[in-house]
Amino acid sequence: MESYINQVDFFKGNDPEKIAQEYGTPLYVYNEEIIRRHMDAVAKVITKYPYTANYSVKANTNIHILKLALEEGNNCDAMSIGEIRMLQKAGFPTDRIFYVPNNVSEEELKEAISIGVMTSLDSLAQLELYGSLNPGSKCAVRLNPGVGAGHHEKVVTAGKKTKFGISEEDIDQIFEIAARYQLTIAGINQHIGSLFMDPEPYLKAVSNLLRIAERFPNLEFIDFGDCLFFHVCSWNNLSITKHFDVMPGIIHGRTYQHIHANICSYIFPACILFHSMDSAKNHTSLCHTVTTRF
């Protein structure tokens, strides 16, 4: 059976041994063509509605990959101030960065406010803190849609057994805090888990989030968060685009300005890891995938 490396002509005529000799090992080698092709595919998952794919920077902060995401039209999710700084260094304007922290400090929120990025708050306490620091501003909130999924219980980030996000029964308190600090809730987002193959829990979460969205009068965007885990070669077989074609872009006459999604977490076969010179010589002990999130 022909190897993946040969199937895709990964090295494009370059000698892997010479690459390893020049740069040393261990060494990651990326294929820009493959990365661009997959970024473009993710950016076209939803075509019927205003939509942007968000690259999740926690997957890989290599500045060259960030620059590719910028050039391919992706926006980015950042979970830390350091990631925001990396995105700025790569050239991302603040309006293409979505800050989605978890239980961060007052100092970090102050810095995000000073930078001017849209920030999502993942608990009532965080929303209260943000309101006290930045009254009269816009922000987003992370909601728990009541459905979680993941390849292991420890990576399920929604549903009844998780600390993440604000539950539906607490939404009235969101509005109370927002009114107290004159906050505009401009966006809602979710993240139900990682590395799951079945689309049904995700689609159920999307349906729940859209239903909950009706309660928010000033939404500018909805972020559906992370999604399926699958090998790129299976993209067409899973027909994920057909699932998104059934999503309503209008809910009871209300049109949302934009849909964001980290559409998928999948094995992104665009990187070769040379553990040693021997692996560069014989291609037998290569780690030729990296997990990259969108």
- Asked whether the beta carbons of 84 and 112 are under 8 A apart, the reply is yes
Q: What is the pLDDT of residues 33-45, one digit of tens each?
A: 888 888 888 787 7
**What was the pLDDT predicted at 161?**
59
> Over the range 95-106, which residues count as b (16 or more CB within 10 Å of their CB) and which as e?
ebbbbbbbebee
**What was the pLDDT predicted at 91?**
98
Q: What is the pLDDT of residues 145-195, one digit of tens each?
A: 756 444 445 444 544 656 677 888 899 999 999 999 999 999 998 876 555
**What was the pLDDT predicted at 185?**
96
Q: What is the pLDDT of residues 4-32, one digit of tens each?
A: 788 888 888 888 888 888 888 888 888 88
pTM, whole model, 2 decimals? 0.79
How far are the Cα atoms of 106, 124, 178, 249 from residue 109, in angstroms, in the given order? 5, 14, 17, 32
Confidence class of residue 85 from pLDDT cuts 50, 70 and 90?
very high
Q: What is the pLDDT of residues 282-294, one digit of tens each?
A: 543 333 333 333 3
